[in-house]
Amino acid sequence: MLKRVLIANRGEIALRIIRTARKLGIETVAVASEPDLGMPYTRAADAVVPIGPGPANESYLVFDKIISAAKRTGADAIHPGYGFLAENADFAQAVTDAGLIFIGPTADSMRKLGGKAEAKAIAIAAGVPVVPGYQGEDQRPEILAEAARGIGFPVMIKAVAGGGGRGMRLVEREEDFAALLASAQREAEAAFGDPRVLIEKVVTAPRHVEVQVFGDSHGNVVHLFERDCSLQRRNQKVIEEAPAPGMSPELREKMTSAAVKLAKAVGYRGAGTVEFLVEGGALGAKAPWYLIEMNTRLQVEHPVTEEITGLDLVEWQFRVAAGEPLPLEQHQITCNGHAIEARLCAEDAAREFLPSIGRIVAFRTPTAEGLRVDAGVEAGSTVSPFYDSMIAKLIAKGPNRAVALERLKHALQETVVAGVKTNAAFLHGLLSLPAFESGEMDTGLIARELDRLNAKGSDPVAVAHGVIALIRQQQRKLEEQRRRISDEARSPWAALDGFQLGPSRKHSLDILVEGNKTTVEVSWVGGEPTVEVEGQVIQLQRDRVTTVDDGDRVFVLHNLRQTEVCWPTYDAAAADETDGEGQLRAPINGRVAKVFVEEGAVVDKGQRIVVIEAMKMEHVLVAPRGGTVGRLTAREGQQVTEGTVLAAILDS
């Protein structure tokens, strides 16, 4: 067995690997960028090595830093987790050349199967059906555009390397192809260091079904059943479950056999996932199905497979890397019950899912039967702009799908995250959709239901609770001051409970709700204040609302949404920075990935001006009106904070 393993990753997956390593008596070494120093995974490891600044291309993606850290700490193997270098064949080869064990497939297998184009060619030779498309080496834009026209729009652009929805763009019209191609290539280069793409036909109303496979160095390959990953937004998985609901035994046999056949064709070793699209949304025996790619690594959603099989896939990875044969043969692997996973992400669903960055003030997840939580953060952790927005995974297991679903919905309701916004309400709404509850979904379900799923606008109940919390804060501060001034026993003349003789009194209070000035009316009847928001007197609901104090602001959680309420601050120096009609501001902390214009350029309303990259996602900022670019402060490669003025569009 391995003695010491360096984990070339961070956050939740690093903690997940450490947990199994500790069970097996394997020591662990963590690596950490500057923003990650002190994160929970670094404290859980036996040793930690700093590897540089926050941007991944200066830390987690630098081969020499990772391999040097492994050698200095006496590690005999490197586990890449998922993302970053997990599917980089050159890194796998560099690890092997350095005399270390790479916990994953060989570099040769990764090159053959890790690239979508290469995998399709192998699949075609093996008789596995593939999605029609272009996977050639000629990557000139004009060649790719010609291929797209030949396939027929709509088409999907996909990064050849990596996964997780990075570098994927749906192109519905030919006139949009060039811009979306450039965007996909930039994102692929930033995420995987490889800008190559392929073009595929868009399969109508597909279900996304993947098969977990495992191979060893003795020629054995098995499958561990399938997962359904059809619920996706912007090509990124949101909810995953195992087994796939409605899967016919005949289709399961075809797909799992094809997955094993593909892995055996290259002598595959370790964990891998073979991904398919099933056309039409149903998983019947005669449904058309196509291979789309193989991910040559452990998947984010591997816990649902662990829950239905009772197996530890990370332990299997360790044993296979150490040269052991697979722990079980195919006939010994069974499927029991149902498991569903939800990815809890730090993002603001009401603002087009912009990543939510900052300090986590409170973080609590429930303990319940059939519930597993894989988290990478805790109260006090900081969500930085450099990495993926996922902060935890909630996995519910039950004897059947209905029980697992109810357990997961309840877990989301009981989860408390304050300080950054999360997609908890969005996830709960998604799990409650009739189409999902019945198992009748496809990859387009979220897009069709997005308006129903995203509650926008203010939450008057949350605002009222926030106001009460702010008033209580002030009362506590006044009481502390009173006690410092005099130690006289408390008298009714010094009471701060609002008691008075006479009719009720009402005050108008200015507060900030999510940074926006709001006026509320507060009335005192006896000693208990009531709050009127937007003309409505709000009844407090203490059993359904959680309030978290953080200095002079409070975070209110109601209906799984977070609302920040605080007193306004007045800063005369900020007067010059107020938004004008033509100002373009950074919507989030991030890096300027692309600037499309120069000062003095004449632009139309809606024209692309700047691309901001944060948490491996691109945010395109367009001109709010037609005019002339009068001031341009954005520079490619520049790190900017939320609210920074990037450009000003003046009247022509």
What is the number of other CB atoms lying within 10 angstroms of the CB of residue 434? Answer: 7
Residue type for 128, please?
V
Nearest to 157 by CA among 128, 126, 178, 129: 178
Q: Which of 16, 166, 297, 561 is catalytic?
A: 297
Nearest to 31 by CA among 68, 86, 3: 68
Assign residue 142 a region: left if phi > 0, alpha if psi is -120 to 50, beta otherwise?
alpha
Residue 393 pairs with which residues in a beta bridge? 343, 374
Residue 365 CA to residue 358 CA, distance in Å, equals 19
Cα end-to-end distance, the chain, whole Å: 71
In order, the DSSP letters of 265-286 are: TTT--EEEEEEEEETTS---TT
Rg (CA), the chain: 27
Under 8 Å between Cβ of 523 and 532 = yes
Residue 578 CA to residue 571 CA, distance in Å, equals 11
Nearest to 215 by CA among 359, 140, 106, 61: 106
Residue 183 CA to residue 596 CA, distance in Å, equals 12
In the three-class reduction of DSSP (H, G, I as helix; E, B as strand; rest coil), residue 401 is classed as: helix
Under 8 Å between Cβ of 226 and 256 = yes
* Chain centre to alpha carbon of residue 153: 29
Cβ-count burial 63-86 (b if 16+ within 10 Å, e if not):
bebbbebbeebebbbbbbbbbbbb
Secondary structure of 220-232 in the HEC alphabet? Answer: CEEEEEEEEEEEE
What is the number of other CB atoms lying within 10 angstroms of the CB of residue 19? Answer: 14
Under 8 Å between Cβ of 316 and 156 = no
Residue 568 CA to residue 578 CA, distance in Å, equals 15
Task: Reply yes or no on whether 542 is catalytic.
Answer: no
Q: Count of H helices and E strands in the chain? A: 16, 38
Structure tokens that stand for 605 in this block: 């309303």
Residue 507 pairs with which residues in a beta bridge? 522
Cβ-count burial 151-185 (b if 16+ within 10 Å, e if not):
bebebbbbbbbbbbbbbbbebeeeeebeebbebbb
Contacts of 370 (CB under 8 A, 6+ apart): 396, 397, 398, 403, 404, 407
Under 8 Å between Cβ of 338 and 243 = yes
In the three-class reduction of DSSP (H, G, I as helix; E, B as strand; rest coil), residue 137 is classed as: coil
Residue 36 CA to residue 650 CA, distance in Å, equals 41
Residue type for 509, please?
L
- Helices 313-321, 11-24: inter-axial angle, 10-degree rounding: 70
What residues are annotated to the active site? 297
